[in-house]
Structure 1
Amino acid sequence: MDIAEEKRLARQVAAKRRAEAHAQLMETAGSSLALRGLPVAAGAARTVSGFIPYKSEIDTVPLLARLSREGWRTCLPVVIGADQPLLFRAWTPGETLAPGVWDIPIPPETAAEVLPDVLLVPMLAFDRQGYRLGYGGGFYDRTLEKLRAFRRVWAVGVAYAAQEVEAVPRGDHDAPLDYVMTEQETFACG
């Protein structure tokens, strides 16, 4: 079986596991992330990108709200096109959002474009080595490759603990995570 087929099958299983975890934990998981805070020190980074939950993704908005109160600049990713890295626009929790690609809420076009130091990365599955299974569009992999080519950027995968697998099928272009945060723990990858 080739890597694309292996990932396709893994996505089916992972999506089901994530949906089950979400049904049980959606009310408390986001607050658990916020209580713990980021594993990256504020002195080393000042801008963090989160995401508005799509389908059964864990909620990063409570964490973004905490970070904003602590002086971090917060932003959200914007899909600008197929096979393109993400763009990031400034956004503070509570500000107006507009529908983006797949109706995922994004900051309005008038919001300032920013470059994040820390990316909170959604996923379907993850392993302890720091690899994640996404939706297959490669948006975060391309974005991390672009940003890491010229500056230090931390990738923090955010998911439910139930999304952990022994090993994620991976290809040459899959960008590793630095940390993973779940409702139960935060750990360094590798």
Structure 2
Amino acid sequence: MKKKIRDKFLKLREKKYFDLDKKNQSFFSNQITKICKNHKVKKIGFYYPINYEVDIVSIVSKIKIKNLKPFLPVVEKNNKMSFREWKTLEPFYVNRFGILEPNKKNKKTKPQLILTPLVAFDQNKNRLGYGRGFYDRFLNQVSKQKNIISIGIAFSFQEAKKIPSQKHDKKLDYILTEKKLIS
């Protein structure tokens, strides 16, 4: 069932993908800024976009919050994921999945807010990813240690009626599209 939904929405995203205009970028950055300020976030984790995902890098780089530090995911051994500090002018490295990452020697942290990519979502804040479980494992692991806010980032056309969920799937705190914030 998940594979069928994943395939449908990956094709749809490729077909309907669009670059965000200034208005859409502002909506994303304003919503993220509000959440960061309300929760006193100083460490934000996000992703480097692939496969027609929302270009969150350009959005995060526009957020102006004093002392806000950006972190990007790094795939570690045993299919675990960590977040490493991202330095704007530093070169990226390509991981085994062809995704750009910061240097594995950079400072490792657990961000207070994590912007997660997704293939599809529903009104209940269920997220369908690529099927490897990196974000579910990471969010399940860190949510036991401390309160971390998770926001799924998507285009509005990625909304499904219902995403089937299993025990290991981690529901998100928010879903943010270019049109609305689901909380």
- State the TM-score, normalizing by the size of structure 1: 0.86
Any residues of structure 2 matched to 1:1-190 within 5 Å, and which? Answer: 6-22=1-17, 25-28=18-21, 29-30=24-25, 32-42=27-37, 43-67=39-63, 70-84=66-80, 86-188=81-183
- What is the CA-CA distance between 1:83 and the residue it aligns to? 4.1
1:34-62 C-alpha deviation (Å, 9 max, x unpaired): 24434523343211111111111111012
- What is the CA-CA distance between 1:31 and the residue it aligns to? 5.2
Amino acid at match of 1:45: V
- What is the CA-CA distance between 1:26 and the residue it aligns to? 1.9
Which sections of structure 1, spanning at least 5 residues, go unmatched? 1-5
In the alignment, the residues of structure 2 paired with residue 37 and residue 14 of structure 1 have an alpha-carbon distance, to the nearest angstrom, of 24
Q: Secondary structure at the match of 2:114?
A: strand
- State the TM-score, normalizing by the size of structure 2: 0.89
User: What's the C-alpha RMSD, in Å, of the aligned pairs?
Assistant: 1.9
Match of 1:3 in 2: none
Q: How many residues align?
A: 180
Which deviates more from structure 2 when the two are superposed, residues 13-22 or residues 48-57?
13-22
Which sections of structure 2, spanning at least 5 residues, go unmatched? none
Tell me if the contact between 1:119 and 1:155 (Cα under 8 Å) persists in the aligned partners: yes
In the alignment, the residues of structure 2 paired with residue 27 and residue 148 of structure 1 have an alpha-carbon distance, to the nearest angstrom, of 31
- What is the CA-CA distance between 1:64 and the residue it aligns to? 1.6
Q: Secondary structure at the match of 1:103?
A: coil
Q: Percent same amino acid among aligned pairs?
A: 27
Tell me if the contact between 1:157 and 1:179 (Cα under 8 Å) persists in the aligned partners: yes
In the alignment, the residues of structure 2 paired with residue 46 and residue 127 of structure 1 have an alpha-carbon distance, to the nearest angstrom, of 29
Amino acid at match of 2:92: L
Tell me if the contact between 1:37 and 1:63 (Cα under 8 Å) persists in the aligned partners: no
Tell me if the contact between 1:154 and 1:178 (Cα under 8 Å) persists in the aligned partners: yes
